[in-house]
Structure 1
Amino acid sequence: MNLLHEAVADAVTRAARTLVLSGDCPTARAVVAGLQRRHDDLAVLWLDAHGDFNTPAISTSGYLGGMALAMLTGRTPDLFDDTLGLRPVPETGVVLADARDLDPAEHDALAGSHVRRVPLDPVAITSALDRLGSVPVYLHLDIDVIDSAELSGARFPSGPGPSLVQVEESLAAASATADIAGACIACAWLPEHVNDLSSRQTITRVAAALGAGLAWHEPAGG
């Protein structure tokens, strides 16, 4: 993972405004490390059905994807060798939207943290970003934040939640309010759904809400 993340961080460093499409959330550590090479300060807006705030000490599964936001805030210092130069983001600079599906110990960790939790709606997100001031923002979207009834094929569905339209409106509001230095869309699909039309349409719509147009190419062989 370090080898992959080093390559991602280098690519992010070279890009003027980054949008990363990833199959998991831990890639965020690479994106943030790359952005930190160009920005002294960086805040985080994390839109996710899960908190991703577990650590090896409290995780019941050991799943790295459930630790991704904790990685950014410095709560997992021994999880990876420090090859990226990632600097912990202060918890006061982190906004977590939705996070409706939390493990008990994760819930307690968030409650005892300085992470700001908000509903996933444009007004709440705009207000939280205004409180951060003019600091550049890394925006992270896990597609499982979308209501499971509208999202077929997600690897970790989390039941009722914000509609795709609400997510689009929230992303547009964030883009209009903050200096989005870079973004990542984490797309953890079941393998058979990775390239289907519905998945592509969802990714295309949320990317468009961030001001990015995507062009899809068929993989070699069909």
Structure 2
Amino acid sequence: MTVLRVPHFLGEYLPELDLPLQGDDVILSDLPAGDTWVRLAALLAPVADAVAVAAGRGERPVVVSGDCTTAFGTVAGLQRAGIDPAVVWFDAHGDVQTLETTASGFVGGFALRMLLGYRPEWVASRLGLRPVPEHRVVLAGARDLDPPEVAYLEGSGISRAEVVGLASAQLPDGPLYVHLDLDVIDPIGVPGLRYPAPGGPNCAQVTAALSMLLATGRVAAVGIACTWHPGHDAAAAVGDRLESVLAAN
């Protein structure tokens, strides 16, 4: 297991961000001036490079960061290494907004939709990221959805699942990229979340689902999005369980 730490939130360097895993490498970039997408592409290019190297050596990279957009670099890196992953996306939110549907304009709300091929000129084309087909995606734990997201998901090929009871039979074939936004956990167990969504599973239930996925032997990479504000000791609330599950598999 290779742990890559990316202490950023949407391209903003957060040196004080508490991340729950110690890393083999910390990815820091001198980000250029420009819009969010230019800066994100510059940050995620070395993420893709590092993932490609680790995956090419037969290792399983774990990318720990402050938001969900690092998934673009992780999946691009796997693809460069000749791995075509399906995606299991744990998140309290759908992350399938578009510019045409979003009410807030929040960039993180586009993350899964962009992985599926939306607006490739923003980041994907810069990284050489190929879109993941909808039918190769499982969205687990999403409960805070805007009406446009509900409508999109109902008509898409994306599979929906609950975290508790997630089974290997629900998974797409082939290698897997497992993306874990830690706001999928009920906020009572994770202090300081940026976008808390009550009614979710607890940390033990989420890590049990992660353990099941890892036990399949098909997980090519894991992304962990620590979508919380620094200074609340959120990492301490989840770190031991995450480290134990990852080390055991």
Please give the TM-score of this superposition, normalised by the length of structure 1: 0.87
Q: Distance in 2 between matches of 1:17 and 1:55?
A: 31
Q: Which deviations, in whole Å up to 9, do the C-alpha atoms of 1:138-180 show, x marking residues without a partner? A: 0000010001111111111101210111101101111112510
Match for residue 141 of structure 2?
A: 98
Paired amino acid for 2:209: S
**Alpha carbons of 1:90 and 1:178: their partners in 2 closer, same or farther (altered >3 Å)?**
farther
Match for residue 53 of structure 1?
A: 96
**Alpha carbons of 1:5 and 1:210: their partners in 2 closer, same or farther (altered >3 Å)?**
same
Match for residue 150 of structure 2?
A: 107
Q: Does 1:209 align with 2:245?
A: yes
Secondary structure of the corresponding residue to residue 196 of structure 2: coil
Q: Does 1:160 align with 2:199?
A: yes
Cα pair 2:134 2:158 within 8 Å, conserved = yes
Q: Which deviations, in whole Å up to 9, do the C-alpha atoms of 1:155-209 show, x marking residues without a partner? A: 111012101111011011111125100011000111322xx2x423413422432
Paired amino acid for 1:17: R
Q: Distance in 2 between matches of 1:80 and 1:52?
A: 16
Q: CA deviation at 1:127?
A: 2.1
Paired amino acid for 2:52: T
Match for residue 173 of structure 1?
A: 212
Which segments of 5 or more consecutive residues in structure 2 lack a partner in the other structure? 1-39
Q: Distance in 2 between matches of 1:115 and 1:8?
A: 26
Paired amino acid for 1:177: T
Cα pair 1:97 1:125 within 8 Å, conserved = no
Paired amino acid for 1:128: Q
Paired amino acid for 2:241: R
Cα pair 1:136 1:181 within 8 Å, conserved = yes
- For residue 39 of structure 1, the aligned residue among 71, 75, 82 is 82
Q: Distance in 2 between matches of 1:178 and 1:88?
A: 23
Q: Distance in 1 between matches of 2:94 and 2:186?
A: 16
Q: Which deviations, in whole Å up to 9, do the C-alpha atoms of 1:96-118 show, x marking residues without a partner? A: 10100011111111111100001
Secondary structure of the corresponding residue to residue 46 of structure 1: strand
Q: Does 1:5 align with 2:33?
A: no
Please give the TM-score of this superposition, normalised by the length of structure 2: 0.78
Deviates more, 1:88-97 or 1:75-84: 75-84
Match for residue 168 of structure 2?
A: 126
Q: CA deviation at 1:64?
A: 1.1
Secondary structure of the corresponding residue to residue 83 of structure 1: helix
Q: Does 1:143 align with 2:182?
A: yes
Cα pair 2:83 2:175 within 8 Å, conserved = no
Paired amino acid for 1:77: P
Secondary structure of the corresponding residue to residue 99 of structure 1: coil
Q: Distance in 2 between matches of 1:182 and 1:8?
A: 12
Q: Distance in 2 between matches of 1:69 and 1:212?
A: 28
Match for residue 191 of structure 1?
A: 230
Paired amino acid for 2:79: Q
Q: Which deviations, in whole Å up to 9, do the C-alpha atoms of 1:47-104 show, x marking residues without a partner? A: 0100111111211111111111111111233433611100000111001101000111
Match for residue 220 of structure 1?
A: none
| RMSD across aligned positions (CA) | 1.7
Q: Distance in 1 between matches of 2:175 and 2:82?
A: 8
Aligned length: 206
**Alpha carbons of 1:167 and 1:160: their partners in 2 closer, same or farther (altered >3 Å)?**
same
Secondary structure of the corresponding residue to residue 59 of structure 1: coil
Q: Distance in 1 between matches of 2:222 and 2:209?
A: 14
Cα pair 2:78 2:84 within 8 Å, conserved = no
| Identical positions, percent | 46
